[in-house]
Amino acid sequence: MKRAYGILLRLYPRDYRAMFATEMSSAFEKASAERRQGRSVYARFALAELMALTMGAGAEWIAKLTTDSSVRGRSLPDRLLMRPPGVSWDAHYAGAFPSVPEEVSQAQERTELLVKRIIHAISQHDFTGARRYSDEERQARASLRSLRQKYQIGDTGGD
Amino acid sequence: MRHVVTKAHVLDVKPLTEPVLLILTSLADQPRHGYALIQDIESLSGGRVRLSTGTLFGALRRLLEDGWIERFEQEDTSRQKQAYRLTAAGRKQLQLELDRMKQLTRAGIARLRASEA
Interface of B with A (CB under 8 A): 33-35, 38, 52-58, 60-62, 64-67, 79-80, 82
| Higher pLDDT among residues A34 and A139, named by residue | A139
Inside any domain, residue B4: no
Inside any domain, residue B90: yes
The C-alpha atoms of residue A40 and residue B34 are separated, in whole angstroms, by 25
Specify the pLDDT at position A86.
63
The C-alpha atoms of residue A97 and residue A90 are separated, in whole angstroms, by 9
Inside any domain, residue B33: yes
The C-alpha atoms of residue A45 and residue A31 are separated, in whole angstroms, by 9
Inside any domain, residue B2: no
Q: How many residues does chain B have?
A: 117
What is the span of the domain harbouring residue B58? 15-116
Mean pLDDT, range B34-47, rounded to an integer: 92
**pLDDT of B88-103, one tens digit each?**
999 999 999 999 999 9
pLDDT at A78 over 90: no
pLDDT confidence band for B30 (50 / 70 / 90): very high
| Residue A129 near chain B (CB below 8 Å) | no
The partner residue sitting opposite A22, judged by closest CB among B35, B64, B79, is: B79
| Residue A55 near chain B (CB below 8 Å) | yes
The C-alpha atoms of residue B89 and residue A48 are separated, in whole angstroms, by 32
Task: Say how far residue B51 (Cα) sits from the centre of its chain.
Answer: 13
pLDDT at B40 over 80: yes
The C-alpha atoms of residue B6 and residue B43 are separated, in whole angstroms, by 38
- What is the CATH number for B21? 1.10.10.10
Instruction: State how many domains chain B has.
Output: 1
Inside any domain, residue B26: yes
CA-based nearest distance A87→chain B, Å: 23
Nearest chain A residue to B83, by CA: A23
Type and span of the H or E element at A35:
none
Mean pLDDT, range A40-49, rounded to an integer: 87
Inside any domain, residue B85: yes
Query: Is A1 strand, coil or helix?
Result: coil
Inside any domain, residue B6: no
Long-range pairs for A136-139 at CB < 8 Å and ≥24 separation?
A137/A111
The domain ranges of chain A are: 2-72, 84-151
